[in-house]
Amino acid sequence: MLHVRGLTVGFGGEPVLEGIDLDARAGEFVSMIGPSGSGKTSVLRAVTGLLRPQAGVVELDVDADHVAFLFQDDALLPWRTARQNVSLGMRIRGVPVGEAEVRADEWLASLGLAGFGERYPRQLSGGQRKRVAIAQVLALEPRLLLMDEPFAALDAIVRARLTEELLAWVEREHLTVLLVTHDLEEAITVSDVVYVLSQGPRATVKARHEVAIERPRHLLDSRRHPAFAPLMTRLWDDLAEELSPGVHTADDDGRG
């Protein structure tokens, strides 16, 4: 589905990432963890074409139309209603406005926002805005879903619920997912494969771990699985080596 080979990304100076290899097979849920400033987000941005790599290739087995990106913040268009925001991607793909809006309402309803179509983003809570952003992305019926710490800004309960809903969705649609996260627990509970990036600049893939927990996943069950604790320890060790004293972390915006 997705093959990244020798990806090097920089912004003029020293590369942030260097020689990243990463694969996501069809239907696989892949997570990337790493210290702040390791350029995890840059991998996603290179995959979507928002960022032009200095070197390396990104191969996709699907059309670019089938790739969707769920961002960290829920920057919806403030001057468009929830319905208009959700239908935007469909309209861009040539779906007639009327049909796109009907489908947008269905998506909102399936995410628990029936009747919220007329609201503007300012009139929604953080969790509701996130749901609109998810509807906007899922409405494109993507095959590959890229997510950049999508629930980082939400409180724990909303976060858990949305994660469960999204997992169910991924399972039902056999989506391939590439998730960037700071949260080691989350990485293990949701994914089949976890990549650990090293400290940047010139961050590389430090380790690749398969998660030996069968799908479908549930947040709590996964945590009680015998494979959970040992892998958690491995990931901690991986990261601890990267964050050992003397190594300074870069700016904590997750983008560097």
Partner 1 sequence: MAGARARVRVIRRVVAFVTVLGTWEVLSRVGWLDPFYAPAPTAVVRVIASLFGDPGFWTHLQATFVAALAGLLGGLVLGVLLGFGAALSPLLADLLEPVMIMLNAIPRVILAPLFVIWLGIDLASKVALALILVTVLIFFAVYGGIKEVDQRLVERVRTLGGGRRELIREVYVPSVTAWVMGNLKIAVGFAFTGAVVGEFVASSRGLGYLLQFAQSTYNAALTIALIVLIMAFVLVLFALAERLERRLLRWRYEA
Catalog residues that contact partner 1 under the rule CB under 8 A: 48, 50, 64-65, 68-69, 71, 73, 75-81, 88-89, 92-93, 120-123, 136, 140
Provide the pairing of β-strand 29-33 with 55-60.
unpaired
Helix H or strand E encompassing 220: helix 219-224
Nearer to partner 1, 31 or 136 (CB): 136
Contact 84, 105 (CB under 8 A): no
Nearer to partner 1, 75 or 212 (CB): 75
DSSP state at residue 255: -
Q: Smallest distance from the beta carbon of 88 to partner 1, in angstroms?
A: 6
Nearer to partner 1, 35 or 142 (CB): 142
Q: Smallest distance from the beta carbon of 69 to partner 1, in angstroms?
A: 4
Nearer to partner 1, 119 or 225 (CB): 119
Contacts of 31 (CB under 8 A, 6+ apart): 178, 179, 180, 181, 186, 187, 190, 191, 193, 194, 195
Q: Smallest distance from the beta carbon of 175 to partner 1, in angstroms?
A: 16
Task: Compute CA distances 144 → 27, 173, 231, whole Å.
Answer: 9, 11, 26
Q: Smallest distance from the beta carbon of 222 to partner 1, in angstroms?
A: 29
